[in-house]
């Protein structure tokens, strides 16, 4: 167990995640903004394909009894394809994003588990992506587009090289064969539902105060901080206390969500569920972390669809956000009960 190694790897992957999502949004909105179908196809490739890619990674890891090398190969493949796609194709861009997320996500899951971080690493890895994404969307029209794209591409290559330098393979921990029983199916369905709700809420909700680049960035920082803090609070105070505190706080804050302070608090508290859903599922699917990661990212894609087709758009924080928070609380509480029950 080496927490310094884990912190280093997760930190490098978090920076990569910010760069990958920045490059994807930066290029997609610059080159394909007028092509409506391009966004749907990109999101399908970037999120829905993570599940089959994750299964392939799990099978490779299980066969070779290695936990770092397969994830590293997927990560650098994702970096390479994302850079290539930013120059030529939204499809390649999305596939690169999927490869990176699966590879980096599985490495993070292993590091978090091996170093007894109890979920702290999961939110830390995922959170910076939101910041990269919003920066890419806001500044895709820059006159320095080509220069910025080149700089970010070079930085991603350098981060990938640093990740591979002095590579040490984690000891493979033999796990019992996963039994896809009723309880695991219920757990996966509940976590999946919470992710769909979070995806729809995040994409469809509109805050009256969130206008201009500054407040949009502040809101994204609040959202990303919540994702990070959810893992730390859960590790410190326990899963159920974190679920109860975060989602009750979000439900109340959403009532006053059109006021900036309350809206920021709602975004912070509501997004604490991100590492909780992932941690609950990967703890029961340790032999298939890529599949667990992919199941939940598929939920992100499902949540994107009603927003993409215009069925849900510009929804007020109240009552939608409050209802979403309370429903998520009930679903996650049941999921936590199922998880604890299987441990006894």
Percentage with pLDDT > 90 across the chain: 78
Summarize the confidence of residues 276-287 as an average pLDDT: 92
Give the DSSP per-residue string, 211-274.
-SHHHHHHHHHHHHHHHHHHHHHHHHH-HHHHHHHHHHHHHHHHHTTTSHHHHHHHHHHHTTHH
The model's pLDDT over 292-312, given as tens digits with 9 standing for 90+, comes to 999 999 999 999 999 999 999
The model's pLDDT over 232-273, given as tens digits with 9 standing for 90+, comes to 999 999 999 999 999 999 999 999 999 999 999 999 999 999
- Residue 88 confidence (pLDDT): 87
Q: What is this structure's pTM?
A: 0.93
| pLDDT band (50, 70, 90) for residue 287 | confident
Q: Please name the helix (run of DSSP H) or strand (run of DSSP E) that holds residue 173, with its range, or none.
A: none
Residue 342 pLDDT more than 80? no
Domains of the chain: 1-174 (1.20.1250), 179-344 (1.20.1250.20)
Q: Would the CA dihedral through 161, 290, 272, 207 be positive or negative?
A: positive
Q: Please name the helix (run of DSSP H) or strand (run of DSSP E) that holds residue 4, with its range, or none.
A: helix 3-31
Q: Would you say 55 and 290 are in contact if contact means Cβ atoms under 8 Å apart?
A: yes
**CB neighbour class for 30 (10 Å; exposed up to 12, middle 13-18, buried from 19):** middle
| pLDDT band (50, 70, 90) for residue 343 | very low
Backbone angles phi, psi at 207, to 5 degrees: -105, 130
| pLDDT band (50, 70, 90) for residue 173 | low
φ/ψ region of 116 (left if φ > 0, alpha if ψ in -120 to 50, else beta) reads left
The HSE-up count of residue 249 (CA atoms within 13 Å, CB side) is 21
């Amino acid at each position: 167990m080496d927490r310094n190694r884990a912190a280093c790897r997760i930190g490098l992957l978090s920076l990569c995640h910010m760069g990958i999502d920045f490059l994807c949004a930066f290029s997609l909105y610059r080159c394909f903004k007028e092509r409506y179908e391009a966004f749907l196809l990109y999101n399908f490739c970037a999120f829905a394909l993570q599940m089959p890619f994750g299964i392939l990674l799990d099978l490779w890891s299980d066969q070779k009894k290695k936990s770092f090398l397969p994830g590293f190969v997927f990560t650098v493949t994702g970096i390479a394809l994302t850079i290539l796609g930013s120059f030529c194709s939204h499809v390649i861009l999305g596939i690169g994003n999927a490869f990176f997320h699966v590879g980096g996500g599985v490495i993070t899951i292993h590091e978090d588990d091996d170093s007894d971080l109890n979920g702290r690493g999961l939110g830390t890895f995922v959170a910076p992506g939101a910041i990269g994404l919003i920066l890419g969307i806001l500044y895709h029209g820059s006159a320095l587009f080509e220069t910025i794209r080149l700089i970010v591409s070079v930085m991603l290559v350098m981060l990938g090289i640093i990740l591979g330098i002095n590579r040490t393979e984690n000891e493979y921990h033999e796990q019992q064969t996963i039994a896809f029983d009723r309880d695991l199916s219920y757990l996966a369905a509940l976590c999946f539902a919470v992710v769909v709700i979070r995806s729809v809420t995040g994409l469809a909700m509109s805050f009256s105060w969130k206008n201009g680049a500054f407040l949009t960035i502040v809101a994204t920082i609040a959202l990303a901080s919540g994702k990070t803090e959810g893992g730390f609070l859960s590790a410190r105070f326990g899963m159920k206390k974190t679920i109860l505190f975060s989602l009750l706080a979000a439900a109340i804050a959403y009532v006053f969500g059109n006021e900036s302070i309350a809206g920021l608090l709602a975004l912070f508290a509501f997004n604490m569920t991100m590492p909780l859903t992932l941690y609950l599922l990967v703890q029961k699917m340790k032999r298939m972390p890529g599949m667990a990661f992919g199941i939940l990212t598929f939920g992100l894609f499902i949540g994107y669809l009603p927003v993409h087709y215009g069925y849900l758009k510009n929804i007020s924080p109240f009552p939608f956000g409050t209802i979403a928070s309370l429903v998520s609380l009930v679903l996650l509480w049941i999921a936590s009960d199922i998880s604890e029950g299987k441990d006894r």
